[in-house]
C-alpha cells in the first residue's frame, strides 16, 4: 500500500480524484474482526476467483440450510447462470426457522421505531423476536394462501416502513410466491405499470403511511392504479384479484367487497403453522423494478440460493456482524438495499435489524442520532446524500446524543465525496469506526466492491477492493483493460451467485443492456478508475441514468412523463452536480404552439411528473426553450445540455449541431 501525502480536498464530488489519504482499521476493531489481515483476504479472494466452484460449494454448505443438495455448483452459459443446480432450500426457513431452538430464537430480529407524532413525543416502538417474527410470517403466509396465492404467483408489496413489509416479503418467500416491492413514494401510474409488467395477482398495501407528520394515502393510490387504462382502453392492472390492506393510520379507505380484505381480519381466519416450501435454488425470489435508459423500468429478477448466499456472506464479512450488534440500515424496503441489508442479509445471519419508519429530519434534524442513542446502535449503513444533508444541518444535532455505541459505519448508493466521508468518520464515528463504502447495484443483488472493516485500509471516496468471487475490470470503448489511473467502463468478468438472472419478460433487453458491451462480461453502466493500489473509484453512471439522492432515475422516464403533458412538445432531461443530492434533474422543455411557458406551467409540469412517476422524479429545474440543440440527423445533443445545465462554458464539439443560435438562447435562459 503506497501512502501519498494528504491533500486537502476541494469541495464537490470531483475532488475524489485528488484524494490521497489512507486510513487503517483501528487496532481494536481489527483484533476482533473475522478477516484480520489483507493476506487472509487475498488468499480467500484468490481461491474464490481461481476455483469458484470449490469456494462456493464450501460456503453454500457452511452458510445455508438446504433441503436437498445441488448436483452442480455453477452452470454458466453466458449470459445465463444457474447456481447450485438441483439444490433446494427456502429463504424464509433460512432467515427464521433455522434460528428457532437456538439462543437466537428469543433475540430481537426486528426493532422497529415509528415516526413520532410531534416534536418531543417519542416514536412508537415494537420489537419482534425471531420466534415472534416466525409466527407472524407463518400466519401471514397462510393468509396469502387463503387468498389464492401460490408458488410462482407475483405479489406487489406497497407498504410503509413497518415490520409488516418484512413479514409480507418473508411470507411470500415461504410459500414460493414472487414479491415485487414498490417504494411507497411511487405514483399510482407506476404501481399500475409494475402490476401490468409482472401480471401480479395480489397487492399488499396499507390504509396509509406516516411521512413527516402527513399521511401518505397508499390504499387510495392502489385504488387509482387498479382503475388506470392503457392507450387502448384496457385496464392496466387487470391481473389483480385481491388487495390485502394493513391498518396503519386508521384513515378512511374504501374497501371493494370481494377484492379488498383487511390484514388483521384475515389473521383471525388462519393458524400459525405453515411449512416452508422446498424451493429450487433457481426459483425466482423477487422482481425489483429499476430505471434504465429507456422510458420503461426494468424488472430485475433475483432467485433463491445464490442471492441468499450473497447477501448472507456480505452481511457477515462487510459488516462483520456479531451476535450483540444492533444493526441499522436506513434504506427503505422499496429499494434493493432494503431487501438485501434490512431484511434478508441480517435475518439470515440471526442479527438484530432496526427499521425506522420516517424521515431523517422529522420532527428535528437529530432524529437519526436520537435513534442511535436510544437503541445503542452499533452498525449504521446509510447513503452519502443523507450524510451531506446532515453536514449541512450542522454538528450540533449529532452532538446532542451519545453515539459511542457505534463501531462501524457504511455507505451505499452513490460516490461519496471525501468531505462527507471525513465528516462521517470524525463527527459520527468519533474517528474510531471504520467506514465501508460499498459499491453494488440492484442487479448485483449484494455488495460487490467494499473494504473489509478489519483489514482493508480505506481511502475516502474509494469502494476499495472486490468481495469474494467478484472480478471487476475497467475497460475502454473496445473492451480492452485501461492502464491504472485511467477512467473507463466498469465491467464484471465472471458470474457471481447473487447476480440478476434476467429482466422479467424481456430477455432481449437483458442481453442488450448488460451483455453486449464486452463479450461474456457484465456491463455495470458505471464509470470507474483503478488506482496504483488496485483500488476502485466508481465515479457514477455513464448511461442515461441519473443518481439523485441515491435513487436511480432514468432520464428517458422523466422525458416521457413530461411529453405526456398536453402542452409539451419536446423534453430533454440531464443531470447537473448538486451538493446534497449528488445530481439534480434539469429538464429542457419546448412547449406546443399556443401554450405559454409561464412559471405556473413550470409548477404544473413538476406536479405532472410527480403524478406520473413519483415526487422523487420531479425536475429541480425546468428550462423552457424555443428549440433543443440537435445534430443534423435530429439527435438531441445531451452533452451540450449537460454543460449548459451545470453552468459550464459549452466547449464540446458542436460541428454537427443543426442550429448554432439554439445554444446562445439556452445559455440566456436563466431562471
Give, in degrees to the nearest 5, the angle at Cα 345 between 344 and 350.
95
Select the residue whose beta carbon is closest to ligand PRX and give its number.
442
Q: Which residue has the cell 448488460?
A: 514
Q: Which residues contact 394 (CB under 8 A, 6 or more apart)?
A: 365
Which string of x and - marks every residue 543-582 that binds ligand PRX (by CB under 6 A)? ----x----x------------------------------
* Residue 72: CB minimum distance to ligand PRX, A: 29
Q: Which is nearer to ligand PRX, 281 or 340 (CB)?
A: 340
Q: Which is nearer to ligand PRX, 194 or 552 (CB)?
A: 552
Q: Which of 112, 171, 165, 179 is nearest to 137 (CA)?
A: 171
CA distance 416 to 379: 18
* Residue 338: CB minimum distance to ligand PRX, A: 9
Which string of x and - marks every residue 290-329 that binds ligand PRX (by CB under 6 A)? x---------------------------------------
Q: Which is nearer to ligand PRX, 128 or 416 (CB)?
A: 416
Residue 337 near ligand PRX by CB under 6 A: yes
Q: Which is nearer to ligand PRX, 500 or 640 (CB)?
A: 500
CA distance 52 to 62: 15
CA distance 59 to 191: 38
- With CB under 6 A as the rule, give the number of residues binding ligand PRX: 22
Task: Please tell me what DSSP assigns to residue 621.
Answer: E
Q: Which is nearer to ligand PRX, 414 or 544 (CB)?
A: 414
Backbone phi, psi, residue 28, to 5°: -60, -35
* Residue 352: CB minimum distance to ligand PRX, A: 22
Residue 205 CB-half CA count within 13 A: 31
Applying CB under 6 A, among 83, 112, 425, 439 the residue interacting with ligand PRX is 439
* Residue 341: CB minimum distance to ligand PRX, A: 9
Q: Which span sits near ligand PRX by CB under 6 A: 27-35, 39-47, 169-177, 406-414?
A: 406-414
Backbone phi, psi, residue 355, to 5°: -120, 135
Residue 73 near ligand PRX by CB under 6 A: no
The strand ranges marked E within 212-360 are 214-216, 242-246, 260-262, 279-280, 284-290, 298-303, 326-329, 352-356
**Rg for the chain, CA atoms, rounded:** 24
Helices 52-63, 305-318: inter-axial angle, 10-degree rounding: 80
Q: Tell how far CA 256 is from the center of its chain.
A: 33
Residue 363: asked if its preceding bond is cis (omega within 30°), the reply is yes
Residue 385 near ligand PRX by CB under 6 A: no
Which string of x and - marks every residue 441-460 that binds ligand PRX (by CB under 6 A)? xx------------------
Applying CB under 6 A, among 440, 467, 535, 624 the residue interacting with ligand PRX is 440
Q: Which is nearer to ligand PRX, 139 or 549 (CB)?
A: 549
Q: Which residue has the cell 413527516?
A: 212
CA distance 490 to 469: 16
Q: Which span sits near ligand PRX by CB under 6 A: 256-264, 472-480, 504-512, 540-548?
A: 540-548
Pick out residues in 459-518 that bind ligand PRX (CB under 6 A): 463
**Binding footprint of ligand PRX on the chain (CB under 6 A):** 290, 336-337, 412-415, 437-442, 463, 524-526, 538, 540-541, 547, 552
Amino acid at each position: 500500500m503506497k501512502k501519498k501525502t494528504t491533500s486537502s480536498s476541494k469541495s464537490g464530488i470531483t475532488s475524489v480524484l485528488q484524494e490521497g489519504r489512507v486510513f487503517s482499521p483501528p487496532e481494536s476493531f481489527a483484533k476482533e474482526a473475522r478477516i484480520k489481515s489483507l493476506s487472509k483476504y487475498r488468499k480467500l479472494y484468490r481461491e474464490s476467483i481461481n476455483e469458484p466452484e470449490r469456494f462456493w460449494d464450501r460456503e453454500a454448505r457452511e452458510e445455508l440450510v438446504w433441503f436437498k443438495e445441488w448436483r452442480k455448483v455453477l452452470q454458466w452459459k453466458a449470459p445465463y447462470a444457474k447456481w447450485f443446480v438441483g439444490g433446494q432450500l427456502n429463504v424464509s426457513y433460512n432467515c427464521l426457522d433455522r434460528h428457532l431452538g437456538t439462543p437466537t430464537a428469543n433475540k430481537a430480529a426486528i426493532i422497529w421505531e415509528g415516526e413520532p407524532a410531534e416534536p418531543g413525543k417519542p416514536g412508537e416502538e415494537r420489537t419482534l423476536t425471531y420466534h415472534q417474527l416466525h409466527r407472524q410470517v407463518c400466519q401471514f403466509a397462510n393468509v396469502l394462501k387463503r387468498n389464492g396465492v401460490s408458488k410462482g404467483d407475483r405479489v406487489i408489496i406497497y407498504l410503509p416502513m413497518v415490520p409488516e413489509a418484512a413479514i409480507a416479503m418473508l411470507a411470500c418467500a415461504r410459500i414460493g410466491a414472487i414479491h415485487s416491492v414498490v417504494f411507497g413514494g411511487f405514483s399510482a401510474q407506476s404501481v399500475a405499470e409494475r402490476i401490468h409488467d409482472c401480471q401480479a395477482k395480489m397487492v399488499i398495501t396499507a390504509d396509509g403511511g406516516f411521512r413527516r407528520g402527513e399521511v401518505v394515502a397508499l390504499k387510495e393510490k392502489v385504488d387509482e392504479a387498479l382503475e388506470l387504462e392503457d392507450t387502448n382502453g384496457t385496464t392496466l392492472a387487470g391481473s389483480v384479484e385481491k388487495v390485502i390492506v394493513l391498518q396503519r393510520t386508521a384513515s378512511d379507505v374504501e374497501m371493494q367487497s370481494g377484492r379488498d380484505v383487511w390484514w388483521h381480519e384475515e389473521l383471525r381466519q388462519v393458524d400459525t403453522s405453515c411449512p416452508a416450501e422446498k424451493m429450487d435454488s433457481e426459483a425466482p425470489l423477487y422482481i425489483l423494478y429499476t430505471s434504465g435508459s429507456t422510458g420503461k423500468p426494468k424488472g430485475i429478477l433475483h432467485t433463491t440460493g445464490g442471492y441468499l448466499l450473497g447477501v448472507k456472506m456480505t452481511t457477515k464479512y462487510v459488516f462483520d456482524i456479531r451476535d450483540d450488534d444492533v444493526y441499522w440500515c436506513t434504506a427503505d424496503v422499496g429499494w434493493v438495499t432494503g431487501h438485501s441489508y434490512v431484511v434478508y442479509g441480517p435475518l439470515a445471519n440471526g442479527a438484530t435489524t432496526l427499521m425506522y419508519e420516517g424521515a431523517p429530519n422529522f420532527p428535528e434534524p437529530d432524529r437519526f442520532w436520537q435513534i442511535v442513542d436510544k437503541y445503542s446502535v452499533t452498525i449504521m449503513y446509510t447513503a452519502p446524500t443523507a450524510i451531506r444533508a446532515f453536514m449541512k444541518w450542522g454538528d450540533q444535532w449529532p452532538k446532542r446524543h451519545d453515539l459511542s455505541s457505534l463501531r462501524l459505519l457504511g455507505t451505499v448508493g452513490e460516490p461519496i465525496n471525501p468531505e462527507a466521508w471525513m465528516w462521517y468518520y470524525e463527527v459520527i464515528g468519533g474517528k474510531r469506526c471504520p467506514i465501508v463504502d460499498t459499491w453494488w447495484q440492484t442487479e448485483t443483488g449484494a455488495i460487490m466492491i467494499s473494504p473489509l472493516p478489519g483489514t482493508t485500509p480505506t481511502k475516502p471516496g474509494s469502494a476499495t477492493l472486490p468481495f469474494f468471487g467478484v472480478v471487476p475490470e475497467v475497460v475502454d470503448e473496445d473492451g480492452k483493460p485501461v492502464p491504472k489511473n485511467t477512467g473507463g467502463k466498469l465491467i464484471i468478468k465472471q458470474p457471481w451467485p447473487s447476480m440478476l438472472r434476467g429482466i422479467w419478460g424481456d430477455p432481449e433487453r437483458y442481453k442488450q443492456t448488460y451483455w453486449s458491451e464486452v463479450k461474456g462480461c457484465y456491463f455495470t453502466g458505471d464509470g470507474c478508475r483503478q488506482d496504483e493500489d488496485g483500488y476502485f473509484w466508481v465515479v457514477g453512471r455513464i448511461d442515461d441514468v441519473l443518481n439523485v439522492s441515491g435513487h436511480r432515475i432514468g432520464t428517458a422516464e422523466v422525458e416521457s412523463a413530461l411529453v405526456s403533458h398536453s402542452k409539451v412538445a419536446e423534453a430533454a432531461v440531464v443531470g447537473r452536480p448538486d451538493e446534497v443530492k449528488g445530481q439534480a434533474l434539469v429538464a429542457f422543455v419546448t412547449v406546443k404552439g399556443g401554450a405559454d411557458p409561464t412559471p405556473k406551467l413550470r409548477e404544473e409540469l413538476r406536479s405532472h411528473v410527480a403524478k406520473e412517476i413519483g415526487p422523487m422524479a420531479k425536475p429541480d429545474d425546468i428550462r423552457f426553450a424555443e428549440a433543443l440543440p440537435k445534430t443534423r440527423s435530429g439527435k438531441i445533443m445531451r452533452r451540450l445540455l449537460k454543460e449548459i445545465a451545470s453552468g459550464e462554458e459549452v466547449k464540446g464539439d458542436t460541428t454537427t449541431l443543426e442550429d448554432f443560435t439554439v445554444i446562445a438562447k439556452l445559455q440566456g435562459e436563466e431562471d
